[in-house]
Amino acid sequence: MAHGLLGVAAMTVLMAMLGGWVRLTQSGFAMAGWVEHGGWLPPLGEGEWAQAYERFRAIPALSGGGVEVGLSAFKSMFWLEYAHQMWARLMVVALVAGIAVYVRLGWVRFTDGVFWKLMGVVLLGVAQGAVGWAMAFGAADAATPWISQYRLTAHFGLAMLFFSSLVAVSLTLLHPRPHDRHHQSPGRLRGAGAAVAVLVFITALSGGFVAGVDAGYAYNTFPLMDGTLIPDGLFDHDPAWLAPFEHVTTVQFDHRVLGMVLLFAVLVFRVSAADRHLAPRTRLALNTLVTVAVAETALGAFTVVYVAPIPLASSHQLMALALLAAALWSVHELRGEAPGVRGGS
């Protein structure tokens, strides 16, 4: 059962990557008119393609903004958004069908706590899909040629929560008991791991705002921004309290700072566990967390320096989910560590 849930988690990763490509290629508008007409089947025949293309060109954000997209380019955009939407629906169907099979086989009972955890996962999946559906409908009436960074980040945030819940439930099913049931988990160390996981989530959310305001195309040097560590014009926005969400300079600066703080926190977390007797699997989880954190920081730097090319930006997003999974794995493994015992690290 756990492997089936991990399979859905893997599907979520692909869904998030497709969503990143949709955002980076501005393909989110391509199905705007088609969603209102069912959205399950793609256009069949040149006549339907022509109708879909005319609906696309009639979107206020495009018709009034001088955006020129030919029919061939429109088809490429449509297929990318179509794949994103269909994959998301398939993912939810796979989850619900899997749970139904587990219940039918008696692996999960309505009285089990895991059943209600799975219901929570389903609700998160439905909520995430509902936000995506609202974005698709809203695109048809959009006044600007991009999806609001708030909707985009909410969509990605719910995807991360959905992914996190799948990983957490899967880990509980795979390893329901701690390594040493006679010892209690070191509360401070596990609490620090949980704080790292929350920081991963917040940093990834800030990346959603970077994508939402196209901040990755500005200040393409690292670690300096416009020749300084702290660029001019921070919070130069009206109102200033919205600058972290709407102002390009502030949005990118915040994401950089959060990324570096996260890397530092991961390293401190790992060092703080070095004098404890760690089970091999726990040590592997912590070392994986450090490795992925370093790789994610490097990918972020390269993404900025090379002006956010799609492969790098997509890899950066993928690594964020891997980092979140590694953090959750580390917290899970720390349930049974014996406090204060020295050993190999």
Q: What is the DSSP string of 310-340?
A: HHHHHHHHHHHHHHHHHHHHHHHHGGGPPTT
Domain count for the chain: 2
Mean pLDDT of 253-267: 97
pLDDT score of 141 more than 70:
no
Query: 64-78, 118-132, 230-244, 248-262 — which is least confidently predicted?
Result: 64-78
pLDDT at 206: 96
CA dihedral 174, 177, 178, 179 (to 10 degrees): -80
Preceding omega of 42 cis (within 30 degrees of 0): no
Q: Which amino acid is at 7?
A: G
* d(C-alpha 264, C-alpha 284), whole Å: 19
One domain, residues 208 and 341? yes
One domain, residues 237 and 339? yes
* d(C-alpha 344, C-alpha 82), whole Å: 50
Sort 288 into a burial class: Cβ within 10 Å, 0-12 / 13-18 / 19+.
middle
pLDDT at 36: 53
pLDDT score of 124 more than 70:
yes
Q: What's the mean per-residue pLDDT of the chain?
A: 85
* d(C-alpha 306, C-alpha 217), whole Å: 9
Point out which residues pair with 228 in neighbouring strands: 225
How many other C-beta atoms lie within 10 A of the C-beta of residue 300?
A: 25
One domain, residues 54 and 195? no
One domain, residues 214 and 277? yes
pLDDT at 27: 82
One domain, residues 141 and 270? no
* d(C-alpha 144, C-alpha 63), whole Å: 10
Please give the share of the chain, as a percent, with pLDDT higher than 70. Answer: 86
pLDDT score of 180 more than 80:
no
List C-alpha distances in Å: 285 to 3, 100, 228, 323, 328.
18, 32, 36, 11, 9
Sort 79 into a burial class: Cβ within 10 Å, 0-12 / 13-18 / 19+.
middle
Among residues 149, 176, 203, which one ends one of the domains? 176
One domain, residues 326 and 261? yes
The two tokens of residue 265 are 């926190």
Phi, psi for 175 (deg, rounded to 5):
-135, 75
pLDDT at 183: 43
Q: Are 158 and 4 in contact (CB under 8 A)?
A: no
Given pLDDT bands bounded at 50, 70 and 90, which one contains residue 340?
A: very low
One domain, residues 133 and 25? yes
Among residues 114, 147, 176, which one ends one of the domains? 176
One domain, residues 253 and 295? yes
Query: 25-39, 103-117, 151-165, 271-285 — which is least confidently predicted?
Result: 25-39
Given pLDDT bands bounded at 50, 70 and 90, which one contains residue 56?
A: confident
pLDDT score of 63 more than 80:
no
Long-range contacts at 101-110 (CB < 8 A, ≥ 24 apart): 102/1, 102/4, 107/1, 108/1
pLDDT at 94: 92
One domain, residues 92 and 207? no
Sort 340 into a burial class: Cβ within 10 Å, 0-12 / 13-18 / 19+.
exposed
One domain, residues 117 and 189? no
Q: Which of 218-222, 261-265, 305-309 ranks highest by mean pLDDT?
A: 261-265
Phi, psi for 225 (deg, rounded to 5):
-120, 115
Note down the domain range covering 97.
Answer: 1-176
pLDDT at 38: 55
pLDDT at 299: 96
Given pLDDT bands bounded at 50, 70 and 90, which one contains residue 136?
A: low
One domain, residues 197 and 335? yes
Q: What is the pTM of this model?
A: 0.88
Among residues 156, 176, 196, which one ends one of the domains? 176
Taking only the tens place, the pLDDT of each residue in 181-212 is 434 455 688 899 999 999 999 999 999 999 98
pLDDT at 146: 58
pLDDT at 199: 98
One domain, residues 149 and 225? no
pLDDT score of 5 more than 60:
yes
Residue (of 190, 200, 214) closest to 161 by Cα position? 200
pLDDT at 105: 85
Given pLDDT bands bounded at 50, 70 and 90, which one contains residue 67?
A: low
